[in-house]
Amino acid sequence: MIRLMLAGALLLLGIEAGQAQAILRVGDQKGNAQAVMEAAGVLKDVPYRIEWKEFAAAAPLLEALSAGAIETGLVGDAPFTFAAAAGAPVKAIAAIRQTGEGLAILVPEKSPIKSFDGLRGKKIATGRGSIGHQLILAALEKMGWKADDVQIMFLSPSDAKIAYSQGSVDAWSTWEPYVSQEEVLFKSRRVITAEGLTPGLGFQVATASSIRDRRLELTDFIRRLAAARAWSLNNTSSYAESWGRLMNIPAVVPLNWLARAKVRIAPIDDSVTKDEQSTMDLYFRWGLIKRKLDVSDIIDRSFSDAIAKGAGL
């Protein structure tokens, strides 16, 4: 009888413990954080439950974050900047660094255009406020050109792909994996990349309330994500194969992308804050955001140790 009572008590405690298990709701886009973390094997023995919420793009992810439907998520610097300008309660807690080779303006293989100079007066497809748009603006500034020296056609990636393939536009300012798809499968050429022009940052973001109420879980998650990205740098081929299977894309495409991108998680340090401030200032100069932002208002540096530990630094 005592054994039965003890077993029942232990079972009840187990149920209560399970019910009390912390949950971290993570926003993701297909082929992003969850994919690399699963491939790296860092999601074993997580002491809390991760609820993955998949979004088609950064904008709805940020809306969900602002509404309290998720605690954290990964977005590019462009949508992060626009969300901050709109007053969304978001803070960057980790940065995603990569080379600028995969953010580029493409032209078809047989195009006579050889450089950005050749794009004067031409039609360039990209998304309004996207990192592709950011690249065009940065290139215009570098050349000393005006906004109307090129014709920017604002299209979604799917519509831009169609317009580009049909020759309705002369060039496409886009990002990975679209750049590698066009290069590898259709022999497009990059006439300019983001190298030396724009930082091409991504951010793991959270709200102040999430940082306060889910700090332990966020710290552990960031450490695991940093470890997964560090793993991917040393296992590019196997990661490209698993990513290709997940996305139903030939492995040669992600291999082309990942081998040169060198994607890694970085702390919110002085170099990151400087780069993000330059991005915000660029959008302000071109009138895409209506007020000047201060990067110090939208960052949180307190996860640096977790990132260093995960990356093995």
Tens of pLDDT, residues 21-58: 899 999 999 999 999 999 999 999 999 999 999 998 88
Residues of the chain with pLDDT under 70: 1-20
Q: What is the pLDDT of residue 20?
A: 64
Phi-psi region of 187 (alpha: psi -120 to 50; beta: other; left: phi over 0): left
The whole-model pTM stands at: 0.89
User: Which class would CATH give 101-193?
Assistant: alpha beta
Quote the pLDDT of residue 15: 39
Which pLDDT score, from 0 to 100, does residue 56 have?
A: 86
253-297, pLDDT tens digit by residue? 999 999 999 999 999 999 999 999 999 999 999 999 999 999 999
pLDDT of res. 43: 96
| Residue 261: HSE in the Cβ half-sphere, 13 Å Cα cutoff | 28
Give the residue among 125, 131, 238, 120 at the shortest CA–CA distance from 188. Answer: 125
Which residues make up the CATH 3.40.190.10 domain(s) of the chain? 22-98+200-311, 101-193
Confirm if 189 and 111 have CB atoms less than 8 A apart. yes
Domain 22-98+200-311, CATH 1.10.287.130 — does that match?
no
Residues 113/219, Cβ–Cβ less than 8 Å = no
For the stretch 219-223, contacts whose Cβ atoms lie closer than 8 Å and that sit 24 or more positions apart, written own/partner, are 219/303, 219/306, 220/46, 220/47, 220/48, 220/306, 221/24, 221/26, 221/50, 221/72, 222/93, 222/94, 222/265, 222/303, 222/306, 222/307, 222/310, 223/306, 223/307, 223/309, 223/310
Q: How confident is the model at residue 8, as a pLDDT?
A: 46
